[in-house]
Structure 1
Amino acid sequence: MTTLAWITIVPAALGVVISTLQNIFFFTLMPVDQMPMPSGLQMDQMPAFVTFMFAHMRALFVAFWLMTVVSLVSGIGLLRRKEWARLFFIALMGLSIVWNIAGVFIQQSFFSAIPSMADVPPEFGAQFESMASTMWVVSIAMAVGFSAVSVWLIWRLMSAPIKAEFGNVS
């Protein structure tokens, strides 16, 4: 558990620093409401997820910051063997499974929104299709791999020895 806690704490702490700086940047130096946004035909051709991100950019930056803070607190709780941290980490791993699977579909929606390659040389079109297919396969493999690790972590965190380590003997 100590290793898992530290594997959570270090990246989460870095995430807190980075996302804090991003929020400071986007809320003060480069306010989102002053950024030039695509409009008209450009916006109509974008995937729904992209338009959602543009419309809710501030909320997404704040949500990412909150997620990194909560992950950091959860990692510290795991280190201290707090039951709430174990339960939260199980929920976090469940969320990561959903996010990994959704990410594959989001990536596919980006590629499907790319305009037709009818006006490009055939070699370029073939190379682009090959690259897109490779990225699709790698994305699926990574989503399955990360999801499998998350399922394993959930299973381990729900095991009797780990529950006992957290003082939960049920």
Structure 2
Amino acid sequence: MNATGLPPPLPWTKPRKGGFVRVLGWISLAMALVGLLYGASQIVTGLMFPADRYLRLFTAGGEPPVLPPLMHWIYTHTLWMGVLMVALSLVLLLASWGLLKHREWGRRLFIALLVVGTLWQFAALFALPQIIEGTLALQAGMLAQGPGMPPEFRAFMTIAMWLGGAVSVVFAAIHAWLIWKLCTPTVREEFVPR
């Protein structure tokens, strides 16, 4: 007891680091490493083969199929898709390392990646019709009656759009929960401001 009759204050202790951040960091680190390997393989493929090699594999005559613009760009820019994958994976690797080291910048970078990932997921919904049409165009004889989707696949497109929307909502909910959890006071206490 001191002169005021109150017990002395408890000594300050460093906040205990919970398992949530550690598990999230390790899972994200593993995902970043897989992304790096995949991106590196795309870069090697893009450097070794001509830009339209993938398209020419789909037809026996050697002439590439007519695809929607987005799908054509993806199949003819393997190198750039690999570079983009490596760059994004490096950013995720950095954020994961920051989470594992309990750095505040790592927490903020990871939250930013979650926000960007959620927005990208919803933006990808607009590309889904082109991706489906491109996939159908790669199948021999599927679009023999001309450009556009065959009538029998309209219901498939509707179902695919609804499923894509549902998946986007589920991922948005998971990302929102992760952002909320990373912003709670108990988790924020674990991070050093450096």
Residue 48 of structure 1 deviates from its aligned partner by: 4.1
Q: Matched residues in 2 for 1:125 and 1:55: separation?
A: 28
Once the two structures are superposed, residues 53-88 of structure 1 have per-residue CA deviations (whole angstroms, 9 ceiling, x without a partner) of 467543332011111122122212211111111111
What is the TM-score of this pair, normalised by structure 1? 0.76
* Among candidates 89, 99, 115, match of residue 68 of structure 1: 89
Q: Which residue of 1 aligns with 2:28?
A: 8
Which residue does the alignment assign to 2:9? none
Partner of 1:153: 178
1:150 Cα shift?
1.0
For residue 86 of structure 1, what is the aligned residue in structure 2? 107
Task: Report the equivalent of 2:165.
Answer: 140
Q: Where in structure 2 are the equivalents of 1:20-169 lying within 5 Å?
A: 20-28=40-48, 30-32=49-51, 35=53, 46-53=67-74, 56-111=77-132, 125-126=151-152, 128-168=153-193
Displacement of 1:103 in angstroms is 0.8
**Structure 1 pair 146/106, CA: closer, same or farther in 2 (3 Å)?**
same
Query: Match for 2:129: what amino acid?
Result: Q
Distance 2:54 2:33 in 1: 32
Q: CA deviation at 1:100?
A: 0.5
SS at match of 1:165: coil
Deviations 1:75-129 (CA, angstroms, capped at 9, x unpaired): 12211111111111011001111110011111034457889x7959xxx843x22
Aligned equivalents of 2:45, 2:79: Cα separation in 1? 11
The one-letter amino acid paired with 1:130 is A
Tell me, in whole angstroms, the C-alpha distance in 1 between the residues paired with 2:35 and 2:175: 19
Structure with more of its chain in helix, by fraction: 1
Aligned-residue Cα RMSD (Å) equals: 3.1
Amino acid at match of 1:97: T
Residues 22 and 119 (structure 1 numbering): CA distance in 2 closer, same or farther, change over 3 Å? closer
SS at 2:163's partner residue? helix
Structure 1: give runs of 5+ residues left out of the alignment. none
Structure 2 residue aligned with 1:18: 38
Sequence identity (%): 24
| Runs (5+) with no aligned partner, structure 2 | 1-20, 57-64, 138-142
